[in-house]
Amino acid sequence: MAIGRREFLSLAGAAAVVPVLARAQDRLPSVGVLTGNVAGDPGALMRVDAFRQGLADRGWIANQNYRFEVRWPGPNPARQQLEALELVAGAPDVLLSTSTGTTRALREATQRIPIVFVGLSDPVGTGLVANLARPTDNLTGFSLYEHSMSGKWLSLLKDMAPSMSSAALLFNPESSPYAPFYLQTAHQMEGRLGLKVTGAGVRSGAEIAAVIETAAQTGGGLVVLPDGGFFGTQSGMTIALLMQRRVPAIFAVRFYAVNGGLMSYGADLTQQFRDGAGYVDRILRGAEIRTLPVQFATRFELVINMKAANALGLTVPNRLLMDAELIE
């Protein structure tokens, strides 16, 4: 059977990797992934696939020259801790974590196995990392945001909806331990933007609906913070209700704007999973954690869903049109 160039390159890469590691250890190396999402979350599935493809691009073919296991405990801390222990018990060579909660759970489960995190908010502020340039424990990876981003989200939302008089920062207290940092910075923007800012801790769809109803009655808007996996299962209901109640909202993740939300501003989360594959590859080939500095996103994109803007009766300002990617 003939094979294409891409398949040939993948097989060639596999051949190059296996002698280095498999013969030395007399077994296939393994990679374990602990997500903050539930199984079936479409955005999370897309990102994990990007990670797996990133490894394939570097010669690692799942179930051929390495073992690959993904756990989907969702945002529940107790479940994350249980799944972390079970994942570590399988003795993977490297672990990938996709949220603050799962990173904490893995760190508690092992101080030996290297852990690469992606998509975190402020790993220094949350106490996960002390030295960004030369990690001293078994943790390193890629961070999306620092807490100062909340001011940018509020400013963009106010530009889009200038009549907005208040804004609530939406988050799940269990999966977003960094939320107080975002809220503190947001309060500093109140006078400059002419907004009353509040925190809205929610743990269920019903509580999200209540926050949206309050915003609808008071002329407010929402900033949906990075949520550690909680919001994925609630996004369809939330976006539909935001449209129905005509409440403007900005998201930290592009996926939600593409799928009906008004707007998003943030780094490319999917790209961070690809970057994470690069670090995992280097560790599998013998690199030490201390040689892999924590990296922060440097490129951010504004996405505006024009259909949602029209449904909300909003006119997109020219200054945003010039900078944004528009979804029709």
- Give, for all 328 residues of the chain, the pLDDT tens digit: 333 434 434 444 443 444 344 444 468 999 999 999 999 888 899 999 999 999 999 999 999 999 999 999 998 999 999 999 999 999 999 999 999 999 999 999 999 999 999 998 888 888 899 888 988 889 999 998 888 899 999 999 999 999 999 999 999 988 888 899 999 999 999 999 999 999 999 999 999 999 999 999 999 999 999 876 788 788 899 999 999 999 999 999 898 999 999 999 998 889 999 999 999 999 999 999 999 999 998 889 999 999 999 999 999 999 999 889 888 7
CATH for 149-266+301-327 (1.10.3720.10, 3.30.565.10, 3.40.50.2300, 2.40.50.140): 3.40.50.2300
Torsion of CA 75, 77, 82, 88, to 10 degrees: 80
Identify the CATH homologous superfamily for domain 5-146+268-296: Response regulator (3.40.50.2300)
Extents of the domains making up the chain: 5-146+268-296, 149-266+301-327
Query: Taking a C-beta distance cutoff of 8 angstroms, is the pair 143, 122 a contact?
Result: yes
pTM of the model: 0.82
CA distance 1 to 195: 65
* pLDDT score, position 295: 94
Considering all CA atoms of the chain, what is the largest pairwise distance in Å, rounded to the nearest integer? 68
CB-CB contact of 171 with 160 (8 Å): no
**CA 119/CA 143 separation, integer angstroms:** 5
pLDDT at 26: 62
Q: 5-146+268-296 and 149-266+301-327 share one CATH topology?
A: yes
Q: Locate tokens 């013969």: which residue?
A: 23
